[in-house]
Amino acid sequence: MTKNWSVVRVLRDRDAALYLAASSVSGFGTSALWLASGVWVKDLTGSNGLAALCMLALWAPTLLGPLLGTLADRVRRKPLLIALDLLPAALLPTLLAVDSPDGVWLLFAVLFVYGAASVVHDAAESALVAAAVAPGLLGDFNGLRFTAAEGMKLVAPLAGAGVYAVYGGPAVALLDAASFVCAAGLYACVRVGEERPRPAGGHWRAQTAEGARFLWGHPELRPLVLAGGATMLFSGLGGPLVYAVVEGLGHSPAYTGTLYAVQGAGSVVVGLFSGPALRRLGERRFAGCGIALTAVAVAAQAVASDPVALVCSAAIGAGLPCVLIAALTAVQRETPDALLGRATATAGTLMYAPTAVGLAAGAGLVEVVPYRPLLVLLALARLTVLPLLRGAQRAASASRTAARSPSDANPA
């Protein structure tokens, strides 16, 4: 029944609902800005390369995730979240001064700081959510957060483009700043008790490495995070092929927008049902089902049919987030609170950074290899990730057996 649906249970939780609202509001501003910033730079400079650097400036701090995530473990996380929302809100109005090619450097600088703040923000939010949301509802919450993020990606770029077309880039910057002020207010309303973190010992480099060491040494988390990274690598490799698929269908490049919209809709839907699926299947099987679904859909894109292409896009959108949601939920559940910021940020780097490598390689491959055989090869490559998850299943079983053995060996 609806009243027992776990999504409703999450939304009825006051603090979980506030987290989701804050994440959605700031996500709207971010998605509106990322598109408008590229158009803004293109209009000012006429350079496609400089326009593309906007996304790089936002994405590059992800590579510093292990280092930036350390901050989320050194201070109380609720005040940190509020500060990290107010920082870009204060910086974005400086973009009102960008009105010529000479001012583009300021836009890049603000976007880079914006991206770095987002990395710390995501780590702090994931750690705080793990403490505030019941463990049994973490999968539901993460799915809903993913749904909200993907939903914003469907509507916010269009809104940002509309505001830019009418009022220009500075207006989009102010819209984004307002979204962060609103998000800070929502985080301030969250009721969560936090103890002041104990002073960290050792050199900062050793502290930074602790999150990576924990993930690498954990027999269940390591395979999940590596599977997420491999999945995103193959996703990046396949990204440039969408234009070849559209050409094979006989459409103009603008049709890619339709495929991406359908893919986003698939991601929105899977987020709503990820919690029950995680409880029924467990993280490894849920991730494996998503990988297998995506592999089948990628291979089927070789069929030159509009209905098939649309179904495949929806299936890719539904399958791709599964391993990411599963990995994040497992990291939140298995990682000690004192390490959670660093572990979450490190997992984010390991899972999302390979996308850039895949995009660069895919752009080269599509120029020299026919896209239909390449789609089939990429689908088969995705299936090679599944043995990682079987290894995680064996490790989990061994861990449970070891946990039971002391009591078995020493009966009362």
Q: What are the domain boundaries of the chain?
A: 1-191, 205-402
The 3-state secondary structure of 345-361 reads HHHHHHHHCHHHHHHHH
Topology alike, domains 1-191 and 205-402: yes
pLDDT at 324 over 60: yes
Can you give the C-alpha Rg of the chain in angstroms? 22
Structure tokens at 380: 């088969």
Which residues, other chains included, contact 384 with Cβ-Cβ below 8 Å and sequence gap of 6+? Answer: 230
pLDDT of residue 318: 93
pLDDT tens, 210-255? Answer: 888 898 888 889 999 999 999 999 988 888 788 888 888 888 776 8
| Inter-residue contact 290 to 277 (CB < 8 Å) | no
1-191: in CATH 1.20.1250.20? yes
pLDDT of residue 3: 43
Which residues, other chains included, contact 168 with Cβ-Cβ below 8 Å and sequence gap of 6+? Answer: 40
* pLDDT band at residue 320 using 50, 70 and 90 as cut-offs: very high
Please give the C-alpha separations between residue 140 and each of 10, 45, 76, in angstroms, as whole numbers.
7, 44, 25
pLDDT at 127 over 60: yes
The Cα 400–Cα 395 span in angstroms is 9
* pLDDT band at residue 395 using 50, 70 and 90 as cut-offs: low
Structure tokens at 393: 């299943």
Q: Estimate the crossing angle of helix 221-238 against helix 386-409, to 10 degrees.
A: 170
Q: Estimate the crossing angle of helix 104-132 against helix 14-45, to 10 degrees.
A: 170
The Cα 82–Cα 72 span in angstroms is 12
The stretch 382-390 carries a mean pLDDT of 88
The Cα 407–Cα 293 span in angstroms is 41
pLDDT tens, 155-203? Answer: 877 788 788 888 888 998 999 999 999 999 999 988 877 677 666 556 6
pLDDT at 407 over 50: no
pLDDT of residue 198: 65
The Cα 252–Cα 163 span in angstroms is 26
The stretch 122-149 carries a mean pLDDT of 84
pLDDT of residue 6: 67
| Inter-residue contact 103 to 374 (CB < 8 Å) | no
Which residues, other chains included, contact 57 with Cβ-Cβ below 8 Å and sequence gap of 6+? Answer: 108, 111, 112, 115
Structure tokens at 362: 């895919």
| Inter-residue contact 68 to 211 (CB < 8 Å) | no
User: In terms of Cα–Cα distance, which of 388, 56, 93, 405 is closest to 220?
Assistant: 388
The stretch 332-353 carries a mean pLDDT of 88
pLDDT of residue 396: 55
- Which is more confidently placed, 130 or 335? 335
The full DSSP string for 35-74 is HHHHHHHHHHH--HHHHHHHHHHHHGGGGGHHHHGGGGGT
Structure tokens at 381: 């490559």
Identify the burial level of 386 via C-beta atoms within 10 angstroms of its C-beta, where 0-12 means exposed, 13-18 middle and 19 or more buried: middle
pLDDT of residue 200: 58
pLDDT at 412 over 60: no
The Cα 144–Cα 240 span in angstroms is 28
Token look-up 């906007």 returns 54
The Cα 405–Cα 101 span in angstroms is 68
Token look-up 């592999």 returns 295
User: Out of 1.20.1250.20, 3.40.50.450, 3.30.590.10, 1.10.275.10, which CATH number does the structure's domain 205-402 have?
Assistant: 1.20.1250.20
Question: What is the average pLDDT score of the chain?
Answer: 84
* pLDDT band at residue 43 using 50, 70 and 90 as cut-offs: confident
